[in-house]
Amino acid sequence: MTRADLIVTDIADLATMASGPVPRVGAAMRELGRLSRAAVAVDQGRFVFVGSEARCRKEVRLRTDGVRWSAGGGSVVPGFVDPHTHALFAGDRSAELDLKIAGASYVEIAGRGGGLFQTVRATRGASAVELLRAAEARLVRMGALGTTTCEVKSGYALTPAGEVRLLGLVKGLARRTGLRLVPTFLGAHAVPLEFTDRADDYIDALIRQALPTIARRRLAEFCDVFCEPGFFSVAQSERLLRAAQAVGLGLKIHADEFVRSGGAALAARLGCRSADHLLESSPNDRELLAKAGVTAVLLPLTPLASFASRSSPGRAMVDAGVPVAVGTDLSPNSWVESMPLVLAHSVYSARLTPAEALTAATVNAAHAIGVSAEAGQVAVGRPADFAVFDVPSAERIPYQFGLAPVRVYRRGIRFPPAEPVAT
Ligand code: ZN
């Protein structure tokens, strides 16, 4: 008899995501590993049973202080994995909306010293406590919407020491929120104003002054770079990524968002874990990504937040055999905290099917940030991270815009905790 401290019964549709390869490509992206009339049992934070209700009744015994809860005929999915966020920043840019509505682009606003540079000024001026409090509030809201694993990029200090300082906050943020956070070094988010027209010097500074500390203190899992004209060239991006690879970091790249920058091709050449955005990528780029097995991380709400006419090329990527993941791109430019809203836009903007969207937000997203052994699937032995939705099938989650879960569990404990997390 298996003992459990939590049993959730009466699950009409359980999308385990536990069958099939990781990452999933093509038709395999529609395989949800689903069970109907299911139950799950958890003990000490990990699943100890996943299967039919009838078997659960026979095989699992609740501990005396355990909790049994009925999902009421709802659906259960793995806790969402958000593989692309800029969640660590100070301030906001709501005042820019009027400029954006009048037609100013992200690049134009940044070119006037606003946009990203405004956030850099606010972030440099903020104390560690201020940064932690702001990011914690965002992450708790994200967790309440079903995100239990989240990537967090640096990128709003734009000095070697400042970027190291930001990355140094992520472990504390994970402790405070209880969420699984994966830090990414994005010192090359933009060329800081102090280095205008000297992007190569700035890349040198990151390589010499930031990377060794980040590697020694294990402050990041990945290195990312913003590869676009006016930001970093393909050659500069390659130089930084190769240096990051040499000190043991995984590689990511902001690629082909505004123009076809060559970022996707570089990602394929270097074997990056992911290439992100990809709004302007070509059929040839998709072929290269598919061949190299680079995951395309699509951020379907970012073009909307930028008033861009393009949509994320979800359908084209899946059809080309590229593993696809989706994320929020939470930043002051596209302040998206809701993975359920991302799921809806993955369907209605990027033309993934609901099943593909669910795969993109769980098992493939976990692969995109290197945590597929721990996140993105409901299976015995794995951390009990899951969300319960009051709909009879998991495919209804992307169908209904921004549907909120009725319950979220992180390591078998309800999230957010009833008591505020100690600070
Ligand atoms: Zn981004």
CATH number at residue 328: 3.20.20.140
Is the per-residue pLDDT at 422 higher than 60?
A: no
CA–centroid distance, residue 189 to ligand 1 (Å):
8
Is the per-residue pLDDT at 420 higher than 90?
A: no
| Predicted local distance difference test score (pLDDT) of residue 112 | 82
What is the 3 state secondary structure string of 2-35? EEEEEEEEEEEEEECCCCCCCCCCHHHHHCCCEE
289: CB partners within 8 A, 6+ apart: 264, 267, 268, 275, 281, 296, 317, 320, 322
Per-residue pLDDT tens for 383-416?
A: 999 999 999 999 999 999 999 999 999 999 999 9
Partners of 4 in beta bridges = 62
Instruction: State which residues have CB under 5 angstroms from ligand 1, the bound ion.
Output: 329
Closest CA to 289 of 313, 303, 302, 272: 272
- Same domain for 52 and 101? no
Is the per-residue pLDDT at 91 higher than 60?
A: yes
CA–centroid distance, residue 225 to ligand 1 (Å):
9
| Domain carrying residue 321 | 80-368
Q: How far apart are CA 191 and CA 195, in angstroms?
A: 6
Show the tokens assigned to 392.
Answer: 């009879």
Whether the upstream peptide bond of residue 192 has omega within 30° of 0, thus cis, is no
Query: What is the three-class DSSP state of 254?
Result: strand
Query: What is the three-class DSSP state of 373?
Result: coil
Cβ pair 322, 289 in contact under 8 A: yes
CA–centroid distance, residue 299 to ligand 1 (Å):
8
Q: What mean pLDDT value characterizes the chain?
A: 96
Classify residue 251 by its DSSP letter: E
CA–centroid distance, residue 321 to ligand 1 (Å):
23
Residue 277 lies in a domain: yes
- Same domain for 173 and 271? yes
Q: How far apart are CA 403 and CA 182, in angstroms?
A: 25
Q: How far apart are CA 167 and CA 159, in angstroms?
A: 12
CA–centroid distance, residue 186 to ligand 1 (Å):
9
191 band by pLDDT with thresholds 50, 70 and 90: very high
CA–centroid distance, residue 390 to ligand 1 (Å):
31
Is the per-residue pLDDT at 110 higher than 90?
A: no
Radius of gyration of the chain from its Cα atoms, rounded to whole angstroms: 21
> Helix crossing, 283-292 with 263-270: angle to 10°?
20
| Predicted local distance difference test score (pLDDT) of residue 417 | 81
- Same domain for 85 and 51? no
Residue 422 lies in a domain: no
CA–centroid distance, residue 255 to ligand 1 (Å):
10
Residue 185 lies in a domain: yes
CA–centroid distance, residue 331 to ligand 1 (Å):
7
CA–centroid distance, residue 369 to ligand 1 (Å):
14
CA–centroid distance, residue 256 to ligand 1 (Å):
12
- Same domain for 119 and 268? yes
Question: Of 331, 349, 368, which residue constitutes the final position of a domain?
Answer: 368
Residue 343 lies in a domain: yes
Per-residue pLDDT tens for 226-255?
A: 999 999 999 999 999 999 999 999 999 999
Q: How far apart are CA 183 and CA 114, in angstroms?
A: 26
CA–centroid distance, residue 213 to ligand 1 (Å):
23
CA–centroid distance, residue 76 to ligand 1 (Å):
29
Count structural domains, the chain: 2
Q: How far apart are CA 294 and CA 83, in angstroms?
A: 14
Task: Calculate mean pLDDT across residues 21-44.
Answer: 97
- Same domain for 208 and 347? yes
CA dihedral 72, 77, 78, 79 (to 10 degrees): -80
Phi, psi of 127 (to 5 degrees): -75, 165
Is the per-residue pLDDT at 356 higher than 60?
A: yes
Phi, psi of 46 (to 5 degrees): -125, 150
Show the tokens assigned to 312.
Answer: 């994320």
Residue 360 lies in a domain: yes
Closest CA to 199 of 223, 162, 228: 228
- Same domain for 176 and 324? yes
- Same domain for 263 and 340? yes
- Same domain for 71 and 86? no
CA–centroid distance, residue 85 to ligand 1 (Å):
6
Per-residue pLDDT tens for 291-313?
A: 999 999 999 999 999 888 899 99
Q: What b-and-e string marks burial along 69-102, b requiring 16 or more CB atoms within 10 Å of the CB?
A: eebeebbbbbbbbbbbbbbbbbbebeebeebbee
| Predicted local distance difference test score (pLDDT) of residue 421 | 54
CA–centroid distance, residue 6 to ligand 1 (Å):
37
Cβ pair 119, 154 in contact under 8 A: no
Cβ pair 295, 222 in contact under 8 A: no
CA–centroid distance, residue 292 to ligand 1 (Å):
22
- Same domain for 68 and 98? no
CA–centroid distance, residue 355 to ligand 1 (Å):
25
Residue 421 lies in a domain: no
| Predicted local distance difference test score (pLDDT) of residue 29 | 98
Cβ pair 249, 215 in contact under 8 A: yes
CA–centroid distance, residue 2 to ligand 1 (Å):
44
Show the tokens assigned to 356.
Answer: 């593909």
- Same domain for 134 and 225? yes
CA–centroid distance, residue 295 to ligand 1 (Å):
15
- Same domain for 7 and 73? yes
Cβ pair 27, 87 in contact under 8 A: no
Q: Maximum Cα–Cα distance for the chain, whole Å?
A: 69
259 band by pLDDT with thresholds 50, 70 and 90: confident
Is the per-residue pLDDT at 219 higher than 60?
A: yes
Alpha carbon of residue 285 to chain centroid: 22
Question: Of 368, 387, 406, which residue constitutes the final position of a domain?
Answer: 368
At 386, which CATH number?
2.30.40.10
Residue 271 lies in a domain: yes
| Predicted local distance difference test score (pLDDT) of residue 111 | 81
Phi, psi of 36 (to 5 degrees): -110, 160
CA–centroid distance, residue 327 to ligand 1 (Å):
10
Is the per-residue pLDDT at 139 higher than 60?
A: yes
CA–centroid distance, residue 135 to ligand 1 (Å):
16
Partners of 13 in beta bridges = 36, 75
Classify residue 275 by its DSSP letter: E
Q: How far apart are CA 156 and CA 92, in angstroms?
A: 12
**Kind of pairing, strands 147-153 and 2-15?**
unpaired
Residue 325 lies in a domain: yes
Is the per-residue pLDDT at 325 higher than 70?
A: yes
Per-residue pLDDT tens for 152-170?
A: 999 999 999 999 999 999 9
- Same domain for 109 and 23? no
| Predicted local distance difference test score (pLDDT) of residue 418 | 73
Per-residue pLDDT tens for 47-78?
A: 999 999 999 999 999 999 999 999 999 999 99
CA–centroid distance, residue 86 to ligand 1 (Å):
6
| Predicted local distance difference test score (pLDDT) of residue 275 | 98
CA–centroid distance, residue 41 to ligand 1 (Å):
37
CA dihedral 179, 184, 187, 190 (to 10 degrees): -90
